[in-house]
Chain A
Amino acid sequence: MDKISIPIGPQHPLLKEPLSMMVDIAGEKVLGGSLRLGYVHRGIERLAQQRTYVQNVHLIERICGICSHVHTTAYCYAVEALLGIEIPPRAQYIRALMCELERIHSHLLWLGILAKHIGLETIFMHTWHDREMALDIMEEISGGRVSHAANQIGGVRFDLDEEHIDMIRGILKKLHSQVDGLVDIIETEPAAMARTKGVAPISPDMIKAYGVVGPVARASGVDIDLRRDAPLPPYDQLEVKVVTHPGGDAWARTFVRAEETRVSLNLCEKILEDLPEGDVSLRTPRRVPEGEVIIRAEAPRGELFYYLRSDGSDKPARLKVRTPTLATLSLLPVQLAEINVADIPVVLAGVDLCIACADR
């Protein structure tokens, strides 16, 4: 059968963000594909060199519209490491609370997108409704649904009072029962299983060769999670249950993310229970001493890598950001090979791409 090349994107109903793919097919079989990034490249690493450390917090937050908080968390911990300061424990816990809420809303958003792509509109409606609860909490405590501006160098910008904590606990309880129901559906619903079981499996060797991280790696049985393996504070004080599954297919990736949502809900409750008393920020100097630092944080999609070098001025000399999606994207052409055309949306949705993160 003749080979046909089909361009998908950069603007396409299948994609939520701009990405250009050339998919080669023969009949109903996909032979392979190639990718082109850069449609939302903003030159953030270069821009960061022209702005002060304080201004960069706002710039960095705009790398991503889903995991904006973990970006500023990694960045602020990097600057604070060069400053040689440790932020107050209460600020560490509030940072972690926002990270976990972000993971919950990111995973639910992704679950909804996958459900929509495989024709399960009801699950899509439920997950996006439930995701709003996590966004409501973040909006209530920070003022922003997407860009929360929670972090500042030296701590966080807001404190939590008893009223906030009661409100968060109430919403988390509702969210927990909703997510339990969703996990049941994923584990038992025949239509969901038929569209995801055995689709686009990734072996642990492929995960290692392509440096794939996060839930995609864990769904292939690779037991890595930086919250446990290289914890930023306060994860060294918290017990993080790492969810893995040996399946490696689209169903395993669904299962891992759904279970991780439950783990994050439990972590939020634990963070509120253990929330230390005290200040939430420190005053810090504007100039950062000379030095280089690498910080890794577990973003919703996996390992987030920041390299920061200071030359002693009030602006970074170099900021390098490697987002987890970039690693996952490199595997995408391999994943597309040998699948059916009808499974392309499952593969694309299954790896939870964030093109804004990858392009920076």
Chain B
Amino acid sequence: MKKFNILDLCIEIETKTSFHCEVYDGIHGDHTILIKPNQLKPVIDVILESFEYCHLSAITVQQRNDQPDEIEVFYNFWSGSGFSLMLKLPVESAKLPSIISTIPGADFYEREAAEMFGIEFTGRNETPPLLLPDDWDQGPPFIAKKEKNG
């Protein structure tokens, strides 16, 4: 399998979409490109066109303690080696376009991200819970609850 090259992918994305690619080098073991939510679907289309074989390994989401108003979302791909797309969303209105029309295997990952982090995925009919009970009413478990003043 042909080895992945981050620069080739950045050039491909910039040529086909005219988006500027910013590389995030914080993750040991994977190359990461920082994009904006509205760029997600076009960039994924470019990725799927660019590789003979490429799969979505996971959607990783996290909220950092030092940036509590923000959620970080990683779309982790693998094509000979690993690479990720990184997006930052406001925690109060975390919205992303669903990608299940192009990558149907993302269904479970989106459902998990929705129930665990409260992300709303637009463009899909419904986002039923994946792991939590149907009657779960305590909010997304991974989002830090704001302390009440007074």
A229 touches B55 (CB 8 A): no
Does B58 sit at the interface, judged by CB under 8 A? Answer: yes
- Chain A binding surface SS class: mixed
Q: Within 8 Å CB of A165, what residues of B?
A: none
Contact with B131, one of A81, A293, A318, A359 (Cβ below 8 angstroms): A359
Known: A38-B130, A229-B80, A307-B60. A294 touches B30 (CB 8 A): yes
Q: Which residues of A are found within 8 Å of B127, using beta-carbon distances? A: none
Q: In chain A between 264 and 313, which residues have their CB closer than 8 angstroms to a CB of chain B?
A: 291-296, 303, 305, 307, 309, 311
Cross-interface CB contact of A329 among B54, B104, B108, cutoff 8 Å: B108
Scan residues 96-136 of chain B and give those whose CB is less than 8 A from a CB of chain A. Answer: 103-109, 129-133
Given B27, B58, B106, B131, which contacts A305 in the complex, CB threshold below 8 Å?
B58
Contact of B62 among A41, A293, A294, A318 (CB under 8 A): A318
Q: A211-B57, A295-B29 are in contact. Are A41 and B131 (CB under 8 A)?
A: yes
| Residue A241 at the chain B interface, CB threshold 8 Å | no
Interface residues on A, range: 35 or more
Q: Inter-chain contact count A-B, CB under 8 Å?
A: 101
A90 to chain B, nearest CB (A): 24
Asked whether any CB of chain B lies closer than 8 Å to the CB of A144, the reply is no
Task: Assess the B76–A37 pair: CB atoms within 8 A.
Answer: no
CB-CB nearest in chain A for B141: A46
Closest Cβ–Cβ distance, residue B5 to chain A (whole Å)? 15
Interface residues of B (CB under 8 A from A): 1, 26-30, 53-58, 60-62, 64-65, 74, 76, 78, 80-82, 84, 103-109, 129-133, 141-142
30 contacts across the A-B interface (CB closer than 8 A): A38-B130, A38-B132, A81-B28, A208-B55, A209-B103, A210-B104, A211-B103, A224-B1, A224-B53, A229-B1, A229-B80, A230-B80, A292-B27, A293-B29, A294-B82, A296-B78, A296-B82, A303-B57, A303-B78, A307-B27, A307-B60, A307-B76, A309-B62, A317-B65, A320-B58, A320-B61, A322-B58, A326-B108, A327-B55, A330-B107
Binding site for B on A (CB under 8 A): 37-38, 41, 43, 46, 81-82, 208-213, 222-224, 229-230, 291-296, 303, 305, 307, 309, 311, 317-318, 320, 322, 326-327, 329-331, 359-360
